[in-house]
Amino acid sequence: MSEIAGILAPQVAARLLQNLAGGPGKLMGGVPGTGPSYVVVIGGGTVGLSAARMAAALGAEVAVFDIDLERLRYIDQVSHGVIKTLYSTPVAVAGELSRADVVVGAVHIPGAKTPEVITGPMLGEMRKGTIVMDVAIDQGGSVEGARPTTHSHPTYPIDGVALYAVPNCRTSAIMGHLKG
């Protein structure tokens, strides 16, 4: 299920970036004359790696943060350097978030509440129109002050960014597919 959540996050974000969805009108992979979207993934576990791989497959420039150097080495190896790997510190994260088009919060600590690694001040420094996907909302969320959203109202604004925090988004997507 974590792999599915990771794969879904960039696909949902790609739709939310479109101006028809109220986004800034940017394509994940860009087009000639414009650059690709910059996707920052916080957490290099199953969700994070799946999200990073999908975003890269969609043509985005991608960076993954984690605190496990072995995991970062693994991601660098399996992505052949296509996915940029960065050691997670508040200063490093804040620097990359300020230029991101999409942020995927994919931090998970088994058996514990998710730490809020994306703070209110970090949200305030992001560019207007940035899409923030809090995939960890089921465990409390990785974004300070995040509250769950629904499929009918998947985002809400905070400081000019769009926060997406649909709980069990992976289960909902699979169940819809299995029913169809």
- In this structure, what CATH number is given to the domain that contains residue 85? 3.40.50.720
- Residue 85, pLDDT score: 98
Mean pLDDT across the stretch 104-112? 87
Q: Which residues is 162 bridged to in the sheet?
A: 131, 157
In the block, which residue shows the tokens 């994919």? Answer: 106
171 — pLDDT class (breaks 50, 70, 90): very low
Which residue range(s) make up the domain with 174? 2-179
What share of the chain has pLDDT > 90, as a percent?
74
In the block, which residue shows the tokens 């997670």? Answer: 88
112 — pLDDT class (breaks 50, 70, 90): confident
Per-residue pLDDT of 59-93, as tens digits, reads 999 999 999 999 999 999 999 999 999 999 999 99
Output phi, psi for 9, to 5 deg: -55, -50
Distance CA 122, CA 132 (A): 11
* Cα end-to-end distance, the chain, whole Å: 19
- Residue 180, pLDDT score: 44
Cβ(54)–Cβ(28) below 8 Å: no
Say how many domains are in the chain: 1
Residue 175 has pLDDT above 50, yes or no: no
Residue 176 has pLDDT above 60, yes or no: no
169 — pLDDT class (breaks 50, 70, 90): low
